[in-house]
Chain A
């Protein structure tokens, strides 16, 4: 096994280029490093929410962040596209890089960053606009399309990639809020991918959806991960097990263990990981 897990504080797997020789090698290990968080600490006012988090996130794969409520997984996710910037009293230290570039560098425009790192939230939150406008919004404000035909192409393409186009092609001008929950969530995914992000962050994207809608999103994630890097926060361990190649377990603001998903769910190294995923008192 390549994952070396030290006790406290937070842990980190070694660099990826070491090729795994044994069977069942995670595809994640074969992909390039996309984002790298080093020594990330975060405070909400006086209260520290993240402690020395080191995490490597690989391209073209799904990384799942799991852990009990309040463990910092969503907070960490929001660090990856600087969504915490807008929260009063929130302070971040450490280093987070996207393709080697420090995303907290003063020269980085958070709006441009969020075009590269998209986000899908727990509750589907379509704009109170038409289905078409929901998806067209991003490409328009980022000036990605010069003609109307081009914009239409992007909207149809994004809806298709999000697996929604067939269901809504006859009512693109109807309000997005009129769709079912699962459809709304796929609309939000279409909106997020319309600007061609390189990383897609998903914060409990299925917790408000029924199992069928959940399965659609999971199927979609599998397809999207062929082109981009996905990080998902989920409370459902089964979901993490199903969709991700790597899983990171957070507890009390610390990253306890990160490894291939198959390893985390069959043979975790850390007691706290095992207690959490098997539902034991820790």
Chain B
């Protein structure tokens, strides 16, 4: 990447810095929401889940703020080249982070819903592991954004496959539980949605990785991303014989 010299107009520099800082703050909050949501689910902690749900509001507010700032900057500064890419990146990343916040909040809501249920350890472990992986991806991609590190973003992009693979195996596992005993269906459905949410969070992290790559290089990633989530084409009925 080129060296980034300072703008002649200092207020422009300040506005861009503010935009970057707001993204960083939003990212920090999104990490927190996701981390807490998984913890709340695992520990069956309704209080933590409630606090997490509330925290998402702050993310939404920051997203509106970034959008407003970006629109005004485009109108007033008419950004070019790297500046334009920075503003477009901030806009796009803020949308992904807002979605991550929503998905995290949804996990927290499910944590409240299943608070009274007896949870199979094995399943919870899988879900927790998947959540940690997604959280790691989110952390890495946010660091990649802050450091303008396209290679690191690319690593995140490729690594999403692991989350997809975990989701596939959790999907099968949950299906098995449900088939074993219909009384598991309530809990398992919540956990399945929780897992799906985490899988989606992983997808948003890869979106951010793509944005970081574009921000740094000015071009899109050309490689075809390996798509690991095969659950949408998994025939459920066939699994019955395995149970």
| A interface residues with partner B (beta carbon < 8 Å) | 1, 237-238, 241, 264-268, 271, 273-275, 277-282
Do B84 and A266 touch across chains, with their CB atoms under 8 A apart?
A: yes
Known: A278-B7, A279-B8. A265 touches B219 (CB 8 A): no
Contact B5 A277 (CB under 8 A): no
Q: Are B7 and A279 interface neighbours, CB within 8 A?
A: yes
Are A277 and B81 closer than 8 Å at their CB atoms? yes
Residue pair A277, B80 in contact (C-beta under 8 Å): yes
B2 at the binding interface (Cβ < 8 Å): yes
B12 at the binding interface (Cβ < 8 Å): yes
Of chain A, the residue at the smallest CB distance from B214 is A267
A87 CB to closest chain B CB (Å) equals 32
Contact A267:B80 (CB < 8 A) given known A279-B7, A279-B8: no
In whole Å, how far is A2's beta carbon from the nearest beta carbon of chain B? 13
A264 to B6: give the CA distance in the assembly, Å.
Answer: 19
Question: CA–CA, A275 to B82, complex, Å?
Answer: 9
Q: Which of B7, B84, B218 contacts A280 (CB 8 A)?
A: B7
CB distance from A129 to the nearest CB of B (A): 40
Q: Are A268 and B78 in contact (CB under 8 A)?
A: no
Q: Which chain A residues lie closer than 8 Å to B92 at the CB level? A: none
Q: How many residues of B contact A (CB 8 A)?
A: 20
Provided the pairs A266-B85, A267-B218 are in contact, do residues A280 and B80 lie with their beta carbons within 8 angstroms? no
Inter-subunit contact B80/A278 (CB<8 Å): yes
- Mind listing 22 A-B residue pairs with CB under 8 Å? A265-B80, A265-B81, A266-B80, A266-B218, A267-B81, A267-B85, A267-B219, A271-B3, A273-B81, A274-B2, A274-B82, A278-B7, A278-B79, A278-B81, A278-B82, A279-B7, A279-B8, A279-B9, A280-B4, A280-B5, A280-B8, A281-B5
Q: Is B83 an interface residue (CB 8 A)?
A: yes
Interface of A is mostly: helix
User: Does B80 lie within 8 Å of A241, measured CB to CB?
Assistant: yes
List 7 additional contacts besides A271-B3, A282-B5; criterion CB under 8 Å. Answer: A241-B80, A266-B81, A267-B81, A278-B79, A278-B83, A279-B8, A279-B9
Residue numbers in A under 8 Å from B6 (CB-CB)? 280-281
Q: How far does the alpha carbon of A281 sit from the alpha carbon of B3 in the complex, in Å?
A: 11
Q: Which residues of B contact A266 (CB under 8 A)?
A: 80-81, 84-85, 218
* CA of A271 to CA of B4, assembled, Å: 9
CB-defined contacts of A279 to chain B, threshold 8 Å: 7-9, 12
Contact partners of A268 in chain B: CB under 8 A: 81
For B88, give the chain A residue with the smallest CB separation. Answer: A266
Question: B7 to chain A: which residues have CB within 8 Å?
Answer: 278-281
Residues 44 to 100 of chain B near chain A (Cβ within 8 Å): 78-85
Query: How far does the alpha carbon of A1 sit from the alpha carbon of B220 in the complex, in Å?
Result: 12
A266, A271, A281 — which one has the most chain B CB atoms within 10 A of its CB?
A266
Query: In the complex, what residue of chain A is closest to B217 when comparing beta carbons?
Result: A267
Which residues of A lie under 8 Å from residue B5 when comparing CB positions? 275, 280-282
Residue in A closest to B84 when the chains form the complex, CB atoms:
A266
B84 to chain A, nearest CB (A): 6
Residues of B within 8 A of A237 (CB): 80
In the assembled complex, the CB of A241 is this many whole angstroms from the nearest CB of chain B, namely: 7
Contacts of B79 in A (CB 8 A): 278
- In the complex, A125 Cα to B181 Cα: how many Å? 90
Taking CB as reference atom, which chain B residue is nearest A267? Answer: B218
Q: Which B residue sits closest to A264, measured CB to CB?
A: B81
When chains A and B are docked, how far (Å) is the Cα of A278 from the Cα of B84? 9
Contact A238 B84, CB 8 Å, known A274-B2, A280-B6, A280-B8? no
